Chain A
Amino acid sequence: MLVRRDADDIREIRPRAALGALVVVVAMLVLSVRLYQLQILRGEDYVTQSIANFRKSLFVPADRGLIKDRKGRTLVDNRPSFDVFMTPAFCKGRERDEVIGKLKQYLQLTDEDVERIKTDYQKSWLSKDRLERFKPFLVELDIPRDQVDVVEAHKTEMTCVNLIPTPHRAYHAPTSLGHVLGYMSEVTPDEMDDHPEYRRGQTIGRRGIERRWERELRGADGKQNIAVDAKGRELDKDTQDALISEADRLVPATPGNNLVLSIDERLQESADAAFPGRAGAVVVMEAKTGFVLAMVSRPSFDPNKMSGRISRAELAKINEDPLKPMLFRVMNENYHPGSTFKVVTSLAGLESGVINPGSTISCGGGYTMGNHRWRCDKPSGHGTLDLKHALGMSCDVYYYAVGDRAGLDALSKMAHDLGYGQPTGFDLGRETPGIIPDTHSIAPVNGSARAQAINASIGQGEVNVTPLQQAVAYAAIANGGTVFRPQIIRRIETPEGKVVRDFQPEALRKLQTKDSSLLAVRAGLFAVVNEAGGTAWRSRLQDVQFAGKTGTAQVMKLGQKQKLDPTAQAYFSRDHAWFASFAPAQDPEIVVVVLNEHGGWGAEAAAPAAAKVIEAYFKMKREEGVPPAAAAPSVATSSMVQ
């Protein structure tokens, strides 16, 4: 009975079982279609992803190009050094704290450092991008040799710590070249967004040549592709060979190009040694090419310090220094030129015809216009003077008269022709253009156009110039009227020494002045140094005759410096001393401009320094025979340890 009913029931189960079979077949077909979709339709995508899983690119840093002086002396190169990196993904939890504790001991880290490391760790660990934790972050830059040994010895206890050999920049040049060369520091996340070729922890050029020529110097990093397992461990050789093809294994780095500067390291040292002041600038430039031979900006900074481990306290000290060590005085600060500007007034007077070289003006110790009297440097007056003697003795009254007669716009035009009031085109970052007033630009509060012309005639009033502009203008006067763009790069060479680019002198314009005008001005500048009564007579040299002009720029307004203590105030209210010169006087080779901030009299605080530089230049020339010229192509030092 029971069995019979069972049979009926089972018969009734059959249609349901058939339906069940249909469901099973459909379900399995769905799975097969899914497989088709994943493996056939999207198969290639997933192959790519599975390769990306195990393939890890180790980065092979490119050697940065060297920087040399014109004679091939190495100013900047690279030295082998080690950075410590840590990969968060490979040490978690307690291991993390142990490793950081060990690093603190081995690397003698401060608590501040430890905090920074923990913050960096957390940041990449908690990042939304889950791959972020596999990217090593910088623990400590450029650790000393003995610490390298210690970390190396404890490598097995700290599997998440890597010592990455990274060539670091070594600056051998005198620190007075700090602003020119610049320095290196770690790339910021923003920069990495713009330039994906930079990796975290890498450095990038800051300021000066390092920054301007970053692209040439950097080269291109290479990479080494290796296979790793899910825990990031490198696989054995056979597996490596099977997974990554020979051709794909190493993409070698391309080293950066070398830069040969027009700077002469020895002359740079001489210029630095000759400069007497606490702050200021020296520019030595070839008069007939515009190539810079030496460039001092004082105070300066040590690029080695700035590129390496610098403490917050040291940075703060630099930033709070009232002398502003980071300021590149050669082109980023402007000053009243004082009497050095009288060459502009002379040329403007001669060209506009209000004077000729022989015409005389009488100096009675002052010049009156309306109800204002401008005093001469010499209260008793210079008597009757022609151009040569006016320049030689730096008579203000003569120039008040010339400036007044020629007018502000004539002065302004001549100044602009000589390169004042605009960037010189020096290729090392943004320049201060300086200020050259004309009748449209002057502020009425500062007096009438006539009064402004009188002020401007002796380089006061609103006139402001940079030391570099002075060098360019005096070079034009010295070389017969060609205004050159100042340059500092002579050549770009490959690491093997092949010249990639050779820089030629670049004449910006030719002055439209009469030769006689330039001759007359040069005669006056000659008299300054070489004739008794000339303001720089005491700085004249035995072997070389040079010409130049002293300047003493009044610093009237103290402005925000009022807060300084009395000694500092006394310093900051002193005049700036200028001397702009060229040598030899007859056939000028070089221009030397010295600015001694708050140095006092140009004749005392600037001219002797210029004389020393000129002396050093010719002594060097005698010793080294040929004039300072092209350096022999040089070969880069051998490549760093990879």
Chain B
Amino acid sequence: MALGVTEKKLDHLHWPLVLCTVIICSLGVWNLASATKNAPLLMWFVQARWMGIGVIAVAVLLFIDYRWLQTLAWPGYAAALGLLAGVAFFGKKVLGARRWLQVGGMQVQPSEFVKLAVIVVLARWFARDETGVRKGQYGVFDLWRPFALIVVPVALVMKQPDLGTALVTFAIAMTMVMFAKVKWRDLIFMFACGAGGSVLAWKRFLKDYQKQRVLTFLNPEAFAKGAGYHAIQSVIAVGSGQWSGKGWGEGTQNQLAFLPEQHTDFIFSVWAEEHGFMGGVVLIALYAFLVLAALDVAANARDKFGSFLALGLAALFFWHAFINVGMVTGLLPVVGVPLPLFSYGGSSVLADLLGIGILLNVSMRRFMF
């Protein structure tokens, strides 16, 4: 089994995915430059530097067959849990939440890498597990092991608290489960139980002040400044973009700081305010393309492990983009979820690019036996 990249393999590189990533990254940096025009720090430059580091890492990793990740799955998973535990004990507290680890001069947000670790470890499990094959299909109770794998990291992320990342991590895992051969009946049963249980608990067992407490616990920032303020300002920003937007650097909601967190969670509002409906639809289409490309990689992978890796990453990009845009346009409640390659943040950029790298790696080796 050759570990090098031949010319043949370079031809097999998923170029549309590369192009799409490059466009998103470029637009992201350009948009960030507008969002942080008044900030003392050159954030767009910092972001571009992280992207550069990410691209180099990806280029190097392309030389290594992704199947090595099967070996790294458990150590990686353990390391991720270790980091989360580290956050819980030594984490830096910002706005009431412990999410960051101080490493040298940098702040690392381990929960971004935990998502990758969970994807890898689940892909390994689904690739190796024979139960589904033996029975023909998985039943609900056959899945206790993957559930056990995701419960711990999700719980730790929830504890920070970071509802957005916990939800996304959980959603990614659930999506991967759905792609395994689980009985439809059992899938529906699972969702019905989960949804029914939550609704019942909310309506019958929780008192108003408890609900308020739960909401505040899950989402401290939104309640710190008065519920709904962020969401309202974001919707105003998006809506006031109209057809073609106010122009780069001209968004009043963005530039005059009416938009909260405009360089992280609400970065899409900046884009939509300054580039309007046309810009917004183009960006949504780019993310759709990215996810479809990942699904394409999954459908054409050489082995089950590669396929599940790609599915997990497709889910990662999909849920991030969907929840983020849904949230800033007022379709979904405000939970902190970054927009991949658009929101400011080194950990998130690095994790996303590593994800792209894995997709390219899987795709590149699809014809090898």
Contact = CB atoms under 8 A, between A and B. Distances in A.
Identify which of A32, A35, A42 gathers the most chain B CB atoms within 10 Å of its CB. A35
Nearest to A47: B240
A31 B326 contact: yes
Identify which of A32, A39, A130, A227 gathers the most chain B CB atoms within 10 Å of its CB. A39
Contact of B304 (A6, A18, A47, A243): A6
Given A21-B292, A50-B237, A54-B252, A35 B243 contact: no
A155 B287 CA distance: 51
A230 interface: yes
Contacts of B330: 34, 38
B359 to A, nearest CB: 14
Contact of B238 (A27, A38, A228, A229): A38
B318 A27 contact: yes
Interface string B302-338: 1110010001001000100010011001110000000
B257 interface: yes
Nearest to B132: A9
Interface string B5-42: 00000000000000000000000000000000000000
A231 B229 CA distance: 14
Identify which of A38, A47, A53, A228 gathers the most chain B CB atoms within 10 Å of its CB. A38
Interface in A30-86: 30-32, 34-36, 38-40, 42-47, 49-51, 53-54
Nearest to A20: B295
A50 B236 contact: yes
Given A39-B241, A235-B256, A49 B236 contact: yes
B107 interface: no
Given A35-B280, A39-B238, A53-B256, A28 B304 contact: no
Interface string B240-274: 11110000000011001110000000000000100
A30 B329 CA distance: 11
Interface size classification for chain A: 35 or more
A24 B291 contact: yes
Interface residue SS majority, chain B: helix
Contact of B284 (A32, A40, A228): A32
A40 B243 contact: yes
Contacts of A6: 127, 302-304, 307
B179 A20 contact: yes
Contact of A10 (B241, B281, B307, B329): B307
B299 A39 contact: no
A560 B349 CA distance: 87
A274 B291 CA distance: 99
A13 interface: yes
A5 B133 contact: yes
Nearest to B287: A28
Contacts of B256: 53-54, 227-230, 235
A12 B137 CA distance: 12
Contacts of B276: 39
Interface string A1-19: 0010110011011101110
Contact of B258 (A9, A25, A34, A54): A54
A338 B238 CA distance: 82
A252 B152 CA distance: 66
A40 B242 contact: yes
Contacts of B325: 31
Given A35-B238, A40-B242, A17 B295 contact: yes
B226 A130 contact: yes
Contacts of B258: 50, 53-54, 229-230
A400 B151 CA distance: 111
B236 A46 contact: yes
A29 to B, nearest CB: 9
Contacts of B295: 17, 20-21, 24
Contacts of A35: 238, 272, 277, 280-281, 284, 329
B59 interface: no
B314 A36 contact: no
B280 A39 contact: yes
Nearest to B260: A230
B95 to A, nearest CB: 16
A629 B287 CA distance: 86
B322 A31 contact: yes
Nearest to A28: B288
A319 B179 CA distance: 85
A36 B237 contact: no
A17 B299 contact: yes
A53 B252 contact: yes
A229 B133 contact: no
B298 A13 contact: yes
B298 A9 contact: no
A35 B281 CA distance: 8
A46 B251 CA distance: 13
B301 interface: yes
Given A39-B276, A46-B236, A31 B284 contact: yes
B240 A49 contact: yes
B369 A3 contact: yes
A17 B311 contact: yes
Given A24-B318, A28-B284, A34-B329, A243 B241 contact: no
Contact of A46 (B133, B238, B304): B238
A287 B369 CA distance: 123
Given A24-B292, A27-B318, A54-B252, A229 B257 contact: yes
Contacts of A50: 236-237, 240, 252-253, 258
A31 B235 CA distance: 13
B285 interface: yes
Given A13-B179, A35-B284, A45 B239 contact: yes
Given A32-B281, A49-B236, A229-B257, A39 B242 contact: yes
Nearest to A9: B304
Interface in B195-212: none
Nearest to A27: B322
Contact of A13 (B253, B307, B326): B307
A32 B322 CA distance: 11
Identify which of A10, A30, A32, A230 gathers the most chain B CB atoms within 10 Å of its CB. A10
B284 A243 contact: no
Nearest to B290: A24
A228 B256 CA distance: 8
A138 to B, nearest CB: 25
B178 interface: yes
A230 B257 contact: yes
B213 interface: no
Contacts of B291: 24
21 contacts: A6-B307, A9-B304, A13-B311, A20-B311, A24-B295, A25-B292, A27-B322, A31-B329, A32-B281, A39-B276, A40-B277, A43-B243, A44-B242, A46-B237, A49-B240, A53-B233, A53-B236, A53-B256, A53-B258, A54-B252, A229-B258
Interface of B: 127, 133, 175, 178-179, 181, 226, 229, 233, 235-243, 252-253, 256-258, 272, 276-277, 280-281, 284-285, 287-288, 291-292, 295-296, 298-304, 307, 311, 314, 318, 322, 325-326, 329-331, 369
Given A25-B292, A31-B329, A50-B252, 4 more contacts: A18-B299, A28-B288, A34-B326, A53-B252
